[in-house]
Amino acid sequence: MASPTHADYDFVVVSNRLPVDRVIGPDGDESWTRSPGGLVTALEPVMREADGAWVGWAGQADVVIEPFENDGIHIVPVVLSDYDIQNYYEGFSNDTLWPLYHDVIAPPSYHREWWENYVLVNQRFADATAAVAAQNAVVWVQDYQLQLVPQMLRDSRPDLTIGFFNHIPFPPYEIYSQLPWRSQILDGLLGADVIGFQRIADAGNFSRAVRRLTNHATKHTSIEVAAAHQRSRRVIARSFPISIDTKSFEELAREPRIQERAKEIREGLGSPKTVMLGVDRLDYTKGIGHRLKAFGELLAEGRLSVEDVTLVQVASPSRERVAAYMQLRDEIELTVGRINGDFGTMSHQAVSYHHHGYPRDEMVALYLAADVLLVTALRDGMNLVAKEYVASRFDDDGVLVLSEFTGASDELKRALLVNPHDIEGLKDAIVQAVEMPQRDRTARMRAMRKRVLENDVQRWSSNFLETLELARKGRYDRNEPMELPDELEWTVDRRWTT
């Protein structure tokens, strides 16, 4: 296949991970599989439609691959060495920024060599992007691993329009200010024309950090970035809650073979009255331990019985060389083993635990098989699993128990909202979910489905890109208030001057 020539693409997405992973089979044959994580799921359909390029890492050390085309997406691989993976990816991205931005649930580590490598690798991503972006192209940089890329790109390519979207939370200033490189990160982000966040609260936290650490004036959702001897530049920072490719989940769920598979799954579990489901990357932000604790106590107290209720926990492997993740895996697997040892019978397991990722077909079958989905994250930018469950339930059935510390809880108000730290409250919500009458289940699921069907990932990306276009033309209304009504309104027309 011909490689794309440089400076060809009018739309470029940049993310740490490519939407595909390189897999070498036992015979040395090369193939590409979809990467895990919500980001890829969210952006793949957008990229196909836009016919752009995607700059990112192929998921393995020192693999040099020429740009290529995969399933309608132009792929531009960036090489990471083993040192880069240890310092930029596992270190600064996932052992400094990840825990810091998730409310320091795990303690962040600060190492100067990690930071130095983060700067270096961000520059590599910026250079690879500058090399493929056409004159006046739109570039959309994704997530916390690449926060310096916007300003690096602005320095080398002032002709570009640059968007940045942070998929994870942006922490309150009192937490953010721990970061030894807090000013450099803000300067990096402020190179963008539009900086998007999941929640209104995240955008607010960011603006507050800008006010505390820089001299730039902020008003509502806009920031006037002053530079010596130049006119100030307007940067927009506001929320754009991400979503999923809703229709494709519903379409899959409507397929008879998927419904058949859902039945098989229930039968395989011993046909319990209630199947509860948890689906997460094995990450300490997801509150898997809290969920297991609540479930174990309910069984111990006899409020739930192992004959009636099974919890299926899918925990997909993630960042397995980072110490906090290894420790988490040990803790979770010990707890699952204890619960099963204490409460399992010959015919019924309490927890059906799976340490793998599954293809989308199997996930949708699981969503259909599950009477209750438990999302108990201690902090989560959005949580797309909650939206996937809702999208799949075309039968208007199923109960969502949802942590109020997820971005999704801003929109899915008809879920049973829980504080996962409050184990008694979580237990009550689980029992309420198991016992919820059909009418109540239907009413709640219908309301949530309306929301997720209206606000899908196409809408998210077009809202972001329209805002980027308004910013480029200097037609953004700087009086846009930061606080939006409780019910987030998606129509840009009402809120932007045209």
- Greatest Cα pair distance in the chain: 77
Q: Give me the least distance between CB of 34 and ligand G6P, in Å please.
A: 12
Of the pair 222, 383, the CB lying nearest ligand G6P is at: 383
Q: Give me the least distance between CB of 38 and ligand G6P, in Å please.
A: 5
Of the pair 39, 445, the CB lying nearest ligand G6P is at: 39
- CA dihedral (346, 348, 350, 355) positive or negative: positive
- Residues 54 and 139: their CA atoms lie apart, in Å, by 10
Q: What residues form DSSP beta bridges with 416?
A: 401
Quote the tokens at residue 418.
Answer: 């829980």
Q: What angle do CA 232, 236, 240 make, to 5 degrees?
A: 170
Of the pair 12, 382, the CB lying nearest ligand G6P is at: 382
Instruction: Determine contact, residues 215/175, Cβ cutoff 8 Å.
Output: no
Q: Give me the least distance between CB of 207 and ligand G6P, in Å please.
A: 21
Other CB atoms within a 10 A radius of the CB of residue 152 amount to 23
Of the pair 316, 432, the CB lying nearest ligand G6P is at: 316
* Contacting residues toward ligand G6P, per CB under 6 A: 17, 36-39, 143, 167-168, 318-319
Of the pair 58, 223, the CB lying nearest ligand G6P is at: 58
Q: What residues form DSSP beta bridges with 141?
A: 14, 164
Instruction: Determine contact, residues 272/308, Cβ cutoff 8 Å.
Output: yes
- Residues 204 and 307: their CA atoms lie apart, in Å, by 47
Instruction: Determine contact, residues 14/146, Cβ cutoff 8 Å.
Output: yes
Q: Give me the least distance between CB of 318 and ligand G6P, in Å please.
A: 5
Q: Give me the least distance between CB of 112 and ligand G6P, in Å please.
A: 22
DSSP 155-223: HH-TTSEEEEE--S----HHHHTT-TTHHHHHHHHTTSSEEEESSHHHHHHHHHHHHHH---EEETTEE
Please identify which residue in the block is written with the tokens 């579990």: 269
Of the pair 146, 252, the CB lying nearest ligand G6P is at: 146
Q: Give me the least distance between CB of 143 and ligand G6P, in Å please.
A: 4
Q: Give me the least distance between CB of 497 and ligand G6P, in Å please.
A: 32
Q: Give me the least distance between CB of 33 and ligand G6P, in Å please.
A: 13
Of the pair 39, 372, the CB lying nearest ligand G6P is at: 39
CA distances from 440 to 276, 388, 415 (A): 18, 20, 11
Burial of 302 (0-12, 13-18, 19+ CB in 10 A): exposed
Q: Give me the least distance between CB of 240 and ligand G6P, in Å please.
A: 14
Of the pair 17, 199, the CB lying nearest ligand G6P is at: 17
Of the pair 17, 291, the CB lying nearest ligand G6P is at: 17
Going by the DSSP 8-state scheme, the letter that residue 407 receives in this structure is G
Quote the tokens at residue 252.
Answer: 């899959």
Of the pair 21, 187, the CB lying nearest ligand G6P is at: 21
Going by the DSSP 8-state scheme, the letter that residue 92 receives in this structure is I
Q: Give me the least distance between CB of 57 and ligand G6P, in Å please.
A: 9
- Residues 414 and 452: their CA atoms lie apart, in Å, by 12
Among all residues, whose Cβ is closest to ligand G6P? Answer: 37
Of the pair 199, 319, the CB lying nearest ligand G6P is at: 319
Q: Give me the least distance between CB of 384 and ligand G6P, in Å please.
A: 8
Tell me how far the alpha carbon of residue 381 is from its chain's centroid.
6
Q: Describe the crossing of helices 384-392 and 438-454 by its angle, rounded to 10 degrees.
A: 110
Q: At 159, which amino acid appears?
A: D
